[in-house]
């Protein structure tokens, strides 16, 4: 196999991994869209979706908390991010009126909602009943 073909294959694998919403890499939040939302929540028994927007300061504040908890709960809970400005259909479907809003899904069904930039311990306490 020539060098160019090896590079092409590596780039293809990297691109596929980046766009994977199957939950195989559970230790970092996936990026969801209106089109990939249902597939993600149905493939992952417990999922937390961070509904956010680029301009939202509290959304940026809770981002590192989500990253940390995603690593801690790797293999137990799948995390994802949904930009509500770019994905208005899902935001409307779940009546997202304030951001950040965290949707906690169990077996594809909404079981809990957290609104606002909450501390790590609060988020963990709200997740534990669904494990």
Residues labelled catalytic:
56, 59
The two tokens of residue 79 are: 């995390």
> CA nearest 80: which of 37, 24, 130?
37
Cα dihedral angle (62, 122, 23, 41), rounded to 10 degrees?
-100
């Amino acid at each position: 196999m020539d060098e160019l073909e090896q590079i092409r294959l590596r780039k293809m694998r990297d691109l596929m991994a980046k766009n994977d919403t199957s939950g195989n890499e559970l230790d970092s939040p996936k990026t969801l869209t209106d089109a990939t939302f249902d597939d993600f929540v149905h493939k992952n028994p417990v999922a937390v979706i961070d509904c956010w927007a680029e301009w939202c300061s509290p959304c940026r504040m809770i981002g590192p908390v989500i990253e940390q908890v995603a690593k801690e709960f790797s293999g137990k809970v799948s995390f994802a991010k949904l930009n509500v400005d770019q994905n208005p259909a899902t935001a409307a479907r779940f009546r997202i009126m304030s951001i950040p809003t965290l949707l906690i899904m169990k077996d594809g069904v909404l079981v809990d909602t957290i609104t606002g930039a909450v501390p790590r311990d609060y988020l963990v306490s709200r997740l534990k009943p669904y494990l």
